Amino acid sequence: MGTLLIETRRARPADAAELAEIHDSAWRGAYRGVIPGSDLEKMIQRRGPAWWQSALSRGSRVLVLTLGDSLVGYANFGRNRARSLPFEGEIYELYLKPEYQGLGFGRRLFRDARKELSTAGFEGLAIWALADNEPAVGFYRALGGRAVARSSENFGGRTLDKIAFGWHG
């Protein structure tokens, strides 16, 4: 009986197709019924393999979670884009394929992305989630995130509330 190795590593341009696949399935699972259908499909289509390859070639910080030889999740992160928040780092996205959610893999990916931000010199971190994405909101609260700001974003004529969660140190 073999053991599958679970690890995180920096994404490479060769991971682009698998990253697009994770993005596609995770976004459909998380946002179907939240973001209007045609807008959701347009957003997913824009993030295909070529987009990921370009982002990685430009140096975007993306960490992937691997289970054996397969990528099952990713987190991309860097400097906090909301200068009004007292956190230097931000995890822009953290997604797993739906079949790997709820198994502790998200916690591992969060912890390792947070460690990467800290190693890069960023104090604290923020993550934004759509308020209607209850699994994400619950996940970030369970990780000790405090709601520190609210905002909204328009998707196809529909305004959706967002919550920023923050962690110091």
What is the average per-residue pLDDT within 34-54? 93
pLDDT attached to residue 56: 96
DSSP annotation string for 124-136: SEEEEEETT-HHH
Q: Reply yes or no on domain 6-167 having CATH 3.40.630.30.
A: yes
pTM above 0.85, yes or no: yes
What band does 107 get if pLDDT is binned at 50, 70 and 90?
Answer: very high
DSSP annotation string for 55-111: HHHTT-EEEEEEETTEEEEEEEEEE-S-TTSS-SEEEEEEEE-GGGTTSSHHHHHHH
Query: What are the tens digits of pLDDT across the range 70-79?
Result: 999 999 999 9
Burial class (CB in 10 A: 0-12, 13-18, 19+), 162: middle
Query: What are the tens digits of pLDDT across the range 109-153?
Result: 999 999 999 999 999 999 999 999 999 999 999 999 999 999 999
What residues form DSSP beta bridges with 89?
Answer: 79, 125
Q: What are the sequence ranges of the domains in the chain?
A: 6-167
- Is pLDDT of 21 > 80? yes
Q: What mean pLDDT is reported for the chain?
A: 94
pLDDT attached to residue 37: 87
